[in-house]
Structure 1
Amino acid sequence: MISTSAIGKILEKTEACSQIAFTRYVRSGRKPGPDPQLSMRDARFGRVPGRVYRPRAPSAGLRAGAIFCHGGGWLYCSFGRAGRICRQVGRESKSMVVSVGYRLAPEHKYPAAYEDCLNATIHFMKNIELYGVDPANVIVCGDSAGGNLAAAVSQTLAGRSDLPKLRAQILIYPGLQALDFNLPSYQQNRGVPLLFRERAAFYMLHYLNGNASNLEEVLEGSHIPIDIKLNYRKWVSPDNIPEKFKVRGYKPHVLLDCTTEVYETVKRFCEPNLCPLLAEDALIQQLPETFTLTCEYDVLRDDGLLYKKRLEDNGVRVTWYHLEDGLS
């Protein structure tokens, strides 16, 4: 991945192609072959493309259903590229899995990916009888950027009375905030592959604005006014991270203010649909049972830890699994 990034930069400087386009090509991989345990077909959920994985074995009743939002920093991968994990979920849980083909940044900026995942989920829920899925047993899940999208979709649907309630949300090393890229995990794992600290901010900025302008301000923490940071400090703060996660080279970061010009370009970082960690307590309290996975050597670790605490503080049942030697 480091080599791919370096070659992509060279190609971009020579104007052969963009770094993002080259990385997408390298990551496209081979189309998966048939699976003896699952049938696979491409489908559309309203205007959103996707792929349906259905166990071939007959079911005695209605199946469980899973809506999967793939990772890739909102810039990379596809519903097809997510086939490996979708197949595993379908095989192991005997569930029908829907992989959502949301639009990618920077061509399609926020909230395009969120809206696609939300609209695909709503379409699926409204037509659930056509899929033979139990409306009381549907989960939304995702990894990394997909975990961000799954959390945002879950929050949006929490207050809906016209749709079945989600049974659970599964958040696999999710990225959930962009206020503080100097939390302990971002400092400790800043140079740990596969997701470097600088790349995490790069991806978030491309998702938001379609470019990485103000990357340095975001990394140093001078992109959000101090009064707004203090307002959210009850939720986004190293003080809410257990001490055992701070022993590996963490240094408290001094709060910096920002200019109005910079804040105007990134102020939507304060929207919960982009940063679900910032949702109000009244909404958090309505969320379904949650499973979250974090990795020790991952810049996104503390996003997951902070969200876990928020959920538990608001009475939401959480199952947490931490990979002590895990990478994102």
Structure 2
Amino acid sequence: MVVKAALVFVVVAVLLTYYCHEPVPQDIPQPTLFASFGIVMRTVRHMARIGEYLGIGTEPQNLRYILGALISAGVKLRTGISYREGLECTDTTFDGVRVRVYEPVSARQSSGRVPGLVFIHGGGWVMLSVDAFDELTAHVSKELGIVVVSVKYRLAPEHVFPAAFDDSVAATKFFLQNAEKYNVDSARIGISGDSAGGNLAAAVTLALAKEKGLPKLKTQALLYPALQAIDFQTPSYIDHGHLNTLTKDLMVAYWIWYLNNDQSFREVFKANNHTSDQLKKSQYAGYVDHKMVRPNLRPKIVKTVNKESIKFPEIPNIATILDPRFAPLMADDADLKGLPPTYVMTCEYDVLRDDGVMYATRLRNAGVRVEHDHNERSFHGFLPQFSDNELAGTAMEKYLTYLRKNL
């Protein structure tokens, strides 16, 4: 009996050791925090998949539910922290889109109009919510004394592209057109977002730059944004796609849920077989030239082709990957000219690092004033940990400094 108990103990210990072993880059500060974040993300994904296999919701639905429950539990544990103090927070709608508005009491009482910021949350267009970013958006509003509008866009895959984009455009336009209601200067409104929210913020900026009779966005601040879906073999995807903070497999799944909700093509996308030889030699391949990340590489030789003439494999809605509303890095050079000053935050250990580097490079080449804030030894999704993670706290200060100077 003792031998059996000892054997069971050893087996359980070995399994726990195996499961809790998390790849951690050697130079990561606070490695336990990084490993914990990775283990949580891996566990949540496994639970979501098992739930779908057992007929309990779909994987994205389960991801939402499990992460939502974990975030709610975390908020309850921090009940002693009144991060909303000094703010009026209102859930309302802007042109039919649900939003949360953060108004500092000082802004309401100000004799002059204050700046504003539209913030679009991340989560792969599939999960998370304004609640998950409540502390971050409240912090930005309080620290800068500005009105922040956090957008509750419709989520994929129940609402595929362009639902999230349309909601983000509608809410932003409404705020620009009704700024005075919140004592906001319509000429001093910026837009920001992280990850998938950074994708939406960049897409909205591109779209509204062409709108006439509308106040112009003062700046865009993109936090480790997802910007392209034609190349999943960039150096950052290759080097960091195994990290559970955001794996290559999950990022590809996010793109597909947003595009057409057909996960049968996941391996096709991961191998870059969702495009064609023609596309890989076109100007669009040049928009993700690895030379922008690794200058020692030879530049790609590309030729300009008409978008409508490009042939794709038989994948539903696949041509959408060249639509700048879906993937802002696919915007032509002419459309980048005249965009507002831009802040791009990237993280070293992030599959999306190169998306941000490439966009910053292309914007700068188009004459846009760009501040590229690259955070070494940091990882995807770290900014909301600004209260607990030293690097995230420093990154938050740099983000706030940029907004303070450019709004």
Q: Which band: TM-score by shorter chain?
A: over 0.9
Which runs of structure 2 are paired with 1:166-315 in the superposition (5 Å)? Answer: 166-231=217-282, 232-243=284-295, 260-263=312-315, 265-315=317-367
Q: In the TM superposition, what is the alpha-carbon distance from 1:263 to its structure 2 partner?
A: 4.7
- 160-169 vs 211-220, which deviates more? 211-220
Q: In the TM superposition, what is the alpha-carbon distance from 1:261 to its structure 2 partner?
A: 4.0
- Report the CA distance shift for 1:160/1:84 in structure 2 as closer, same or farther (over 3 A): same
Q: In the TM superposition, what is the alpha-carbon distance from 1:265 to its structure 2 partner?
A: 4.2
Partner residue of 2:59?
A: 19
Aligned equivalents of 2:61, 2:43: Cα separation in 1: 15
2:359 counterpart of 1:319:
no
- Report the CA distance shift for 1:323/1:287 in structure 2 as closer, same or farther (over 3 A): same
Unaligned runs of 5+ in 2: 1-40, 301-309, 381-407
* Secondary structure, aligned partner of 2:314: helix
Q: In the TM superposition, what is the alpha-carbon distance from 1:65 to its structure 2 partner?
A: 0.3
Contact kept, 8 Å, 1:225 with 1:263, in 2: the verdict is no
Contact kept, 8 Å, 2:137 with 2:150, in 1: the verdict is yes
Aligned equivalents of 2:220, 2:264: Cα separation in 1: 33
Partner residue of 2:387?
A: none
AA matched with 1:51: R
Match of 1:159 among 190, 198, 210: 210
Contact kept, 8 Å, 2:194 with 2:222, in 1: the verdict is yes
Task: Give the % identical residues.
Answer: 38
For residues 164-217 of structure 1, what are the alpha-carbon distances to aligned partners after superposition, in whole Å with 9 as ceiling and x for unaligned? 111000000000000000000000001113110111110000001023231111
Aligned equivalents of 2:338, 2:167: Cα separation in 1: 22
Match of 2:164 among 106, 110, 113: 113
- Report the CA distance shift for 1:160/1:88 in structure 2 as closer, same or farther (over 3 A): same
Partner residue of 1:88?
A: 139
* Secondary structure, aligned partner of 1:262: coil
Q: Which has the higher contact order (CA 8 A, sep 6+)?
A: 1
For residues 234-266 of structure 1, what are the alpha-carbon distances to aligned partners after superposition, in whole Å with 9 as ceiling and x for unaligned? 21121221349x9xxxxx9xxxxx985435542
The TM-score with structure 1 as length reference comes to: 0.92
Q: In the TM superposition, what is the alpha-carbon distance from 1:87 to its structure 2 partner?
A: 0.9
* Secondary structure, aligned partner of 2:376: strand
Partner residue of 2:127?
A: 76
- Report the CA distance shift for 1:64/1:51 in structure 2 as closer, same or farther (over 3 A): same
For residues 64-84 of structure 1, what are the alpha-carbon distances to aligned partners after superposition, in whole Å with 9 as ceiling and x for unaligned? 000011000000011222212
Q: In the TM superposition, what is the alpha-carbon distance from 1:19 to its structure 2 partner?
A: 2.1
Contact kept, 8 Å, 1:51 with 1:80, in 2: the verdict is no
AA matched with 2:141: G
AA matched with 1:91: K
Match of 1:48 among 97, 106, 110: 97
AA matched with 1:320: H
For residues 285-314 of structure 1, what are the alpha-carbon distances to aligned partners after superposition, in whole Å with 9 as ceiling and x for unaligned? 021000010000000000000000110000
Unaligned runs of 5+ in 1: 247-251, 253-257
Partner residue of 1:249?
A: none
Aligned equivalents of 1:73, 1:136: Cα separation in 2: 30
Aligned equivalents of 1:11, 1:298: Cα separation in 2: 27
- 135-144 vs 220-229, which deviates more? 220-229
Contact kept, 8 Å, 2:312 with 2:318, in 1: the verdict is no
Contact kept, 8 Å, 1:184 with 1:238, in 2: the verdict is yes
* Secondary structure, aligned partner of 1:324: strand
Contact kept, 8 Å, 1:12 with 1:18, in 2: the verdict is yes
For residues 142-182 of structure 1, what are the alpha-carbon distances to aligned partners after superposition, in whole Å with 9 as ceiling and x for unaligned? 00000000000000011222111110000000000000000
- Count of matched residue pairs: 317
Aligned equivalents of 1:16, 1:111: Cα separation in 2: 27
> Whose helix fraction is larger, Structure 1's or Structure 2's?
2
- 21-30 vs 184-193, which deviates more? 21-30
* Secondary structure, aligned partner of 1:115: helix
- Report the CA distance shift for 1:242/1:91 in structure 2 as closer, same or farther (over 3 A): farther
* Secondary structure, aligned partner of 1:195: coil
AA matched with 1:299: V
- Report the CA distance shift for 1:233/1:19 in structure 2 as closer, same or farther (over 3 A): closer
Aligned equivalents of 2:57, 2:355: Cα separation in 1: 33
Contact kept, 8 Å, 2:278 with 2:311, in 1: the verdict is no
RMSD: 1.9
